[in-house]
Copies of this chain bind each other. A is one copy, B any other.
Amino acid sequence: MRILVINPNTTRSMTDKAAEAARIVAGVGTEIIAATSQIGPASIEGHYDGALAVPGLLAEIRAGEQAGAQAAVIACFDDTGLDAARALAGIPVLGLCESALVTAGFLAQRFTVVTTLERSRVLLENLSRHYGFGGRVKVRAADIPVLELEDEASGALGKLRRQIELALDEDGAEAIVLGCAGMADLAFALQEEYGVPVIDGVSAAVKQAEALIAQRLTTSKRGSYAAPLAKVYSGAMAGFAP
């Protein structure tokens, strides 16, 4: 199997981290192809960055599918561009948030997502509700700018651990979901430390991608994700015309 893992921001070190997480969990015979968006923001923090990351993401999806990828993972916890990517692609597309919540849902009745910035908290609450986890999930922001996760000296890990401890003490969390692709390398050590499942979205999404490929399933083209209709696209978006 060939699975495309796209970092929808332009920071290569985050791509590398996601690719490594993906390769650790990938099955025998699965090839992970990592791609970094060439156009858009260096990190995705809130609705504005998220929206402007989508064209770069869609370009990578299209290129990756043409190059033979059998499934794609959007390596951002906001699931930015997920619906558009599903409409575009003939291959299945997975988001980190949906994959991680679903995975946590098999292991625990109540769990807490720990994300980076306050501006993403309600966004993820709404996304959790959209995916049907409204009554089961609490979201906490650790006040960590995304790119601080790339800097070991930033103190980010301490802030993250503080929120995990609050989740266990105050939320009744039975499991923890790491709410940013940039935390992918931390899941296993935190799971060992706290003795509850700690779910990383990149790992979860890669396994879902493999699962769909093995079942010969792909996105339905009936209804919501019907292929884009042919039409004129103008200006900087001209190249995206279906």
Contacts and interface: CB of A to CB of B under 8 A. Distances in A.
Contacts of A106: 92, 94, 98, 208, 212, 219
Contacts of A92: 106-107
Chain A interface bracket (under 10, 10 to 19, 20 to 34, 35 or more): 35 or more
Contacts of A232: 10, 41-42
B208 A84 contact: no
Interface stretch (A119-127, A148-156, A158-166): A119-127
A202 B121 CA distance: 31
B145 A229 contact: yes
A222 B118 CA distance: 9
Contact of A42 (B25, B88, B168, B233): B233
Contact of A196 (B84, B195, B222, B228): B222
A107 B212 contact: yes
A225 B174 contact: yes
B41 A233 contact: yes
A225 to B, nearest CB: 7
Contacts of A241: 41
A77 interface: no
A91 to B, nearest CB: 11
A224 B119 contact: yes
Interface in A126-170: 126, 129-136, 145, 168
A174 B219 CA distance: 9
Contacts of A46: 87, 224, 226, 228-229
A38 B234 contact: yes
Contacts of A88: 48
A63 interface: no
A215 to B, nearest CB: 5
Contacts of A211: 103, 204, 207-208, 210-211
Across the A-B interface, the 10 shortest Cβ-Cβ residue pairs: A132-B132, A39-B235, A207-B211, A51-B84, A47-B83, A48-B228, A109-B224, A174-B220, A174-B223, A108-B220
29 contacts: A27-B27, A28-B29, A47-B225, A48-B87, A50-B84, A51-B51, A52-B55, A52-B58, A55-B55, A55-B237, A56-B237, A92-B106, A106-B219, A107-B212, A108-B220, A126-B130, A131-B132, A132-B133, A134-B135, A174-B220, A174-B225, A175-B222, A197-B219, A197-B220, A200-B215, A207-B210, A207-B214, A207-B215, A208-B211
